[in-house]
A and B are shown apart, each in its own frame.
Chain A
């Protein structure tokens, strides 16, 4: 097969970038559902439903944002490392 490098661009990078962009939406939904839902459940048990749902939802969104931030940072580190190793070659 001819020039593999040209035919197959760095698919890991482009996949991770595309995945990251769309993943943040489903992460936010998951965070809201999971921790908002947990808040609702705790509210059912112990009362103060509104407060529990509010705290749960904010926690869920916060965690989802943190996750996105952590993943992007990890991706950045990988890219920088691979750039550096390319420069050295």
Chain B
């Protein structure tokens, strides 16, 4: 029996096959660090132009163009594009803004809508042939979005409730014995200031990261195992089948995570507008 070479062996190709005698190249975090195409030096800062940043710009253009095109020739009897745009707008307004924030929700619909559709289409890039990279699996993107959300609800909270009451209403929850506040108030403060934004960003990032890793593993396995033997055919067909099923599942998760991210944004904005009672 021939010795199976480690897939990291330099004599192995990047995507080896079973017949090459190389081990299965299980994908790891390296697949998320794509080679930059070029680096621009502007005002002493490095701007890396790579697949991720180009895809992100493309998504921004797609989302903006769609909504501009859908809303430009506004007619009383809407055409197909306009009614699709209206459906999209109404979904964010009724299911997220009004449902969670209430009467004041309408003025946040543009913000929430931009976040929802940007995140959703960015996630969808993970399964679109040719792109096949979910932008939100690059930690910088969920972190930047979360920072925008964080600054927004912190500002709104301090403006509407006053800087002190905003923090005290979160730190001293109702229905708790006064003595417990000594232990619970610092916990709630840390929750409000640190872990809330961190979990919001990581939840989106980790879901997209794991989904992409899973899809890559089964796609590679389908190719790696494909060979004229029973185990090869069975293994390859099974891996391919799993890839197809997982792609469908991943598309569901992509929509769900975009929805959850936007819903949480609305929850936090709503919480900042209306103090707990």
Binding site for B on A (CB under 8 A): 4, 7-9, 11-12, 14-15, 18-19, 22-23, 25-27, 29-31, 33-35, 60, 63-64, 66-67, 70-71, 73-74, 77
Contacts and interface: CB of A to CB of B under 8 A. Distances in A.
B219 interface: no
Interface of chain B: mostly helix, strand, loop or mixed: helix
Leading 7 A-B pairs by shortest Cβ distance: A11-B102, A74-B175, A30-B191, A26-B195, A30-B190, A30-B195, A29-B195
Given A63-B184, A67-B173, A22 B267 contact: yes
Contact of B188 (A4, A12, A66, A67): A67
Interface residues of B, number: 31
Interface of B: 98-103, 105, 173-176, 180, 183-184, 186-188, 190-191, 194-196, 198-199, 263-264, 266-267, 270-271, 274
A25 B100 CA distance: 19
B270 A15 contact: yes
A4 B173 contact: no
Contacts of B103: 4, 8, 11
Nearest to A1: B103
B274 A12 contact: yes
Contacts of A22: 199, 264, 267
A26 B196 contact: yes
Contacts of A64: 187
